[in-house]
Amino acid sequence: MKELIHSLLLMAGLVGLLGLVGCSSLGSSSVSVPSSAPVIQASAEGIDMGDHALVRQQLLAQLSEWKGVPYQFGGLTKQGVDCSGFIYLTFAEEFGIRIPRTTQSQVLKGQVIDQADLVPGDLVFFMTGYNQRHIGIYVGKKQFIHTSSSRGVMLSRLDNPYWQSAYWHSRRIAL
């Protein structure tokens, strides 16, 4: 079945647009944190977000732990997670910081920064289609981690032509 879906997407020429992302729309639907969601224990309380090397190290450790976890809309577990859920969990688990659960709410937090000023831990936002938004966390060296609809949690390059064309803006979470 998976191969059939993949073939259909290839034939339609949509793999480049749909295969890389699949996060949220700006419509009226939103994902709320279910009462059955895992209790998040902050594993890194007190981390100085200004220590960019340490933030990068924590983010790469999170990537190592979650790499390949499949995309699932509304997911918050290692059985499946969406892009905003991965960001939500990463900030809580790695930095002890609570941020909103949805991309629609995350895009309103922190301050807008220029792409040239990105440091590890900054949020990067993309417009991936009509009313479709995607989010990742910048880890430095022109790379960010996110949840791809086709490849799950992964590392991508911000200077990849697809991501450069979809880039919307970046935000730094104010503490």
Q: Which residue has the tokens 């935000």?
A: 171
Q: Which of 23, 52, 83, 169 is catalytic?
A: 83
Question: Any catalytic annotation for residue 169?
Answer: no
Question: Any catalytic annotation for residue 146?
Answer: yes
CB 82 within 8 A of CB 75: yes
CB 127 within 8 A of CB 136: no
CB 157 within 8 A of CB 163: yes
CA distances from 118 to 11, 32, 50, 131, 156 (A): 37, 29, 12, 25, 15
Q: Which of 6, 52, 146, 169 is catalytic?
A: 146
Q: Rounded distance, CA 108 to CA 98, Å? A: 14
Q: How many residues are there in the chain?
A: 175
Q: Which of 6, 23, 52, 134 is catalytic?
A: 134
Question: Any catalytic annotation for residue 23?
Answer: no
Residues noted as catalytic: 83, 134, 146
